[in-house]
Amino acid sequence: MSRFETDTPLTGHALIQSYLGSLTNAPGVYRMLDQQSRVLYVGKARSLRRRVSSYAKPTGHSPRIERMIRETASMMFLTTRTETEALLLEQNLIKQLKPRYNVLLRDDKSFPNILVSAEHRFPQIKKHRGAKKEKGGYYGPFASAGAVNRTLNQLQKVFLLRNCSDATFESRTRPCLLYQIKRCSAPCVGYISEEDYRGAVRDAEKFLKGETTGIQEALAADMSAASEAMEFERAAALRDRIRALTNVQSSQGINPRGVTEADVIALHMEGGQACVQVFFIRANQNWGNRDFYPRTGGAESEAEVLEAFLGQFYDQKEPPRQILLSHPIEDADLMAEALSDKRGRKVELLVPQRGEKAELVSGASRNARESLARRMAESATQARLLDGLADAFGLDGAPRRIEVYDNSHIMGTNAVGAMIVAGPEGFEKSQYRKFNIKGDDLTPGDDFGMMKEVLTRRFQRLLKEDPDRESNAWPDLLLIDGGAGQVSAVEEIMEDLGIEDVPFIGVAKGIDRDAGKEEFHRPGKTAFALKRNDPVLYFIQRLRDEAHRFAIGAHRQKRAKAVGATPLDDVPGVGAARKRALLSHFGSAKAVARAGLADLKAVDGISDAMAEQIYDFFHERT
């Protein structure tokens, strides 16, 4: 690869023209940067010279592209061996750099799978998200945790497989409630043989692969045989399993016969916004759908938005055999080649015009249109609430970023500070932050001290990372859980940091701490309240409640971690396996700390060197 840069003071068309003499017709990726070296746009090209020359022309551009060209102060180039390599590099850079003028997929979380474990005599069936490190069969992706949970519940009814952890399984001495309600065959206490349980696991995996006909026929034959043998209780149980299996298939809604494995991706654009709806079809079954709202400039074509979405969506996901699209994209062959290389076998991109596949795309398109309409209505409501908030508190304009702070602790222990963020698009959960309170000199339960630590850490970091306030990370409004005392404390913190232009408001619960009687406190002004039926009041209550929910959740996580913590967690080299061996041998962490060197060496799995390290660790601390 090669790279070219220039320090020319030119900008816009003239700057871009100056690069053409040094560019070749090789494929590659180009970056357009502004005067602060921030990346404005990342693009790929079959021929760098031809592609960049199109920007050098002074006419023929959309307003969005013309604005981008005017802001361009420098460019960077990377040549690649193939156009496919350029496509992959482009999408990686877009996800990494998040340029202002690129279409950007904002919600890119992983999707859950169902895992049938393979490391136990009686395999567990469970939900799995993340890297596929555990041995077993993975089935998915499912669109959401809810879709997985629904399928797991039905699989439990049909195949009676366990979902408990291995530790729980080994400790059981009698069946749990799931056996009583006919959701598990109780392998933990020997109510089913290993061979029969393995048969149920095989049937469950066949179902997840779409091979349901044979399962239903086998269950029907077993039910008939049980009935003839007058084993009516067993026959009734088999009848219930057949009924549950039928319910699974009917509840999925879409069960295409001619589409075994595909993602159905439909785009709808309106009012400068875009919604992409993705349906997951696996084993001829609908495994849920998910909507996405990529960031666009408002002037892109359907082909441009859809191509950008595909590249970013499949960056960390394995593509299926077929991808059914609502609109054609410009470089379909190139995208199919790149996805095929990623999967290791052929991936087809299709824009079906008739038949079952076209009906699937039509359904996804309808969902995309309806989802975008709902989102636009919600955005309009949110905009009105933000305008009302500005009017109620005398702000210069509707805030685009509201930060809400709260603390959670029990008598000062496991204290956690929480920050949530809201804006024109509602709660921005990717921006939420939690702060483990570190202050050793704080009095237990000192809410003022905790708030001071949280805000100091938050704004010191902002001042360090973005002193010129060029990013969207700076808030337009702070909401603090508390009254006049909290507001005074915050005012002192902001003065110490030299921040004078970020407004903040304390939200106190008011008389009798009833919702609806909140009082609002501002520096140097009299406290006031809003009318009980004011929509802005309900909006603030939702913001406060969300901050409280997030703070309590963070506190509970910290407390649960602390409950299971031992001094052994701090010993270098002692992981989960060695920790279990030591606790099993000595009975408690305190006994390990008091143990002699010879006793430590006698523990299975603890080498002489490790025993010396553990011994030295505890004796150096006392």
Give me 267's structure tokens: 């785009």
∠356-364-368 over CA atoms, to 5°? Answer: 160
Domain co-membership, 196 together with 82 = no
Specify if 328 maps to a domain.
yes
pLDDT of residue 122: 92
Decide if pLDDT at 473 tops 80: yes
Q: Which residues on adjacent β-strands are paired with residue 138?
A: 115
Confidence of residue 206 (pLDDT cuts 50, 70, 90): confident
> Can you read off the two tokens belonging to residue 394?
């005398």
Please state the rounded mean pLDDT for residues 472-497. Answer: 88
42: confidence class by pLDDT, cuts 50, 70, 90: very high
403 token code pair: 């930060």
What's the CATH code of the domain at 483? 3.30.420.340
Q: Would 107 be classed as within a structural domain?
A: no
Same domain, 318 and 417: no
List all residues 6 or more positions away from 514 whose beta carbon is below 8 Å from its beta carbon. Answer: none
Contacts of 130 (CB under 8 A, 6+ apart): 110
Nearest-angstrom CA–CA distance, 69 and 11: 8
Structural domains counted in the chain? 5
Strands 125-128 and 113-117, bridge-based pairing: antiparallel
Which domain-ending residue is among 556, 577, 599? 556
Is residue 536 within 8 A of residue 544, CB to CB? The reply is: no
Q: Are 72 and 15 in contact (CB under 8 A)?
A: yes
The reply to whether 1 falls in a domain is no
**Domain match, 449 and 547 both:** yes
- What's the CATH code of the domain at 574? 1.10.150.20
Residue at 390 is within a domain: no
Q: Look at the block and give the residue holding tokens 């002193």.
A: 467
Other Cβ atoms less than 10 A from the Cβ of 475: the count is: 22
Q: Are residues 422 and 545 in the same domain?
A: yes
Identify whether residues 52 and 167 lie together within a single domain. Answer: no
Higher pLDDT, 427 or 584: 427
- According to the per-residue pLDDT averaged within each range, which of 108-112, 207-211, 456-460, 574-578 is highest? 456-460
Q: Are strands 477-481 and 402-410 parallel, antiparallel or unpaired?
A: parallel
Residues 501 and 444 in one domain: yes
Q: Note the Cα 534 to chain centre separation in Å.
A: 34
Question: Are 413 and 548 in a shared domain?
Answer: yes
| Dihedral sign computed on CA atoms, order 395, 396, 400, 401 | negative
Q: What is the DSSP letter of 104?
A: B
Let me know if residue 482 belongs to a domain.
yes
Q: Which segment of 310-314, 380-384, 552-556, 607-611 scores lowest on mean pLDDT?
A: 552-556
pLDDT exceeds cutoff 60 at 433:
yes
Nearest CA among 539, 545, 547, 544 for reference residue 390: 539
**Shared domain check, 580 and 551:** no
CB 152 within 8 A of CB 178: no
Out of 44, 70, 97, pick the residue that ends a domain: 97
> Residue 461 to residues 316, 504, 527, 622: CA-CA distances in angstroms?
30, 18, 31, 37
Q: What is the DSSP string of 480-539?
A: EES-HHHHHHHHHHHHHHT--S--EEEEE--GGG-TT--EEE-TTS--B---TT-HHHHH
Q: Is the pLDDT of residue 322 over 90?
A: yes
Using an 8 Å Cβ cutoff, are 443 and 566 in contact?
A: no
Domain match, 123 and 228 both: yes
Tell me, yes or no, whether 407 and 552 share the same domain: yes
Q: pLDDT value at position 248? A: 57
> What length is written for the chain?
622
- Model confidence pLDDT, tens digit, residues 368-418: 999 998 888 888 889 899 999 999 998 888 999 999 998 876 555 667 888
152 occurs within a structural domain: yes
Burial of 420 (0-12, 13-18, 19+ CB in 10 A): buried
For residue 457, count CB atoms less than 10 angstroms from its CB and return exposed for 0-12, middle for 13-18, buried for 19 or more.
Answer: middle
Quickly state the pLDDT bin for 212 (edges 50, 70, 90). low
Q: Are residues 311 and 449 in the same domain?
A: no
| Residue where one domain finishes, among candidates 198, 218, 251 | 251
> How close are the terminal C-alpha atoms of the chain, in Å?
58
Per-residue pLDDT at 478: 94
Band (3; pLDDT cuts 50, 70, 90): very low
Same domain, residue pair 534 and 578: no
Residue 379 included in any domain: no
Question: If you compute the radius of gyration of the chain from its CA atoms, what whole number of angstroms results?
Answer: 30
Does any domain span residue 256? no
pLDDT for 82-99, tens place per residue?
999 999 899 889 988 889
Range of the domain at 222: 113-251
Cα angle 100, 101, 106; round to 5: 60
H or E element, residue 87: helix 83-97
**Which class for 95: exposed (0-12), middle (13-18), buried (19 or more C-beta within 10 A)?**
middle
